[in-house]
């Protein structure tokens, strides 16, 4: 899979997300650039599972040197390798170990059930808390510490995505 063929932004206001991990999975898959395939990184050590499809925005470079992480709120999981054109609505800022990291939260552009969602304000606070709790606890049994810094709304996401595209 040639990631250069997947634009970070298919059009203004949207990002492409390459799914690595489907919702409900306890397996952590990662795209291996050298092998051009998805590999099993590990099974989660805790009793939690990914709340939504999780992956990255191709052709971006985040502050940690990896592509920008993203999650898509959907009713049904997709599969590793699926590309989802999505609308960013916010981001969760965390510190993973000692490394600052952002998780972009998105809505699928082609799902009529979410056309009303424009920002984090349109998502139930409990749902946002569940997502944050997943990231806070999913590595506990590996003796890794995650610090949740909080949610930022869509305005902060737009400038971050632009920067991460330019840094690619």
- 101 is known to lie in a ligand binding site: yes
- 28 is known to lie in a ligand binding site: yes
SS3 annotation, the chain: CCHHHCCCCCCCCCEEEEEEECCCCCEEEEEECCCCEEEEEEECCCCCCCCCEEEEECCCCCCCCCCEEEEECCCCCCCCCCEEEEEEEEEEEEEECCEEEEEEEEEECCCHHHCCCCCHHHCCHHHHHHHHHHHHHCCHHHCCCEEEEEEEEHHHHHHHHHHHHHCC
- 42 is known to lie in a ligand binding site: yes
Question: Which residues contribute to the annotated binding site?
Answer: 28, 42, 54, 69, 101, 138
Annotated binding site for substrate: 28, 42, 54, 138
Indicate the annotated binding residues for Mg(2+). Answer: 69, 101
């Amino acid at each position: 899979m040639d990631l250069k063929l997947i634009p970070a932004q298919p059009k203004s206001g949207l990002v492409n997300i390459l799914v690595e991990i489907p919702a409900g999975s306890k397996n952590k898959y990662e795209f291996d650039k050298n092998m051009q395939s998805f590999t099993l990184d590990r099974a989660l050590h805790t009793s939690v599972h990914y709340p939504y499809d999780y992956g990255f925005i191709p052709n971006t470079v985040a502050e940690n040197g990896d592509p920008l992480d993203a999650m898509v709120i959907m009713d049904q999981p997709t599969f590793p390798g699926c590309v989802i054109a999505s609308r960013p609505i916010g981001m969760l800022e965390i510190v993973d170990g000692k490394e600052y990291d952002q998780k972009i939260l998105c809505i699928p552009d082609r799902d009529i059930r979410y056309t009303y969602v424009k920002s984090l304000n349109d998502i139930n606070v409990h749902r946002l808390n569940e997502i944050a709790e997943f990231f806070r606890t999913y590595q506990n049994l590996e003796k890794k510490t995650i610090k949740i810094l909080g949610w930022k709304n869509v305005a902060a996401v737009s400038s971050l995505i632009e920067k991460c595209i330019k840094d690619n």
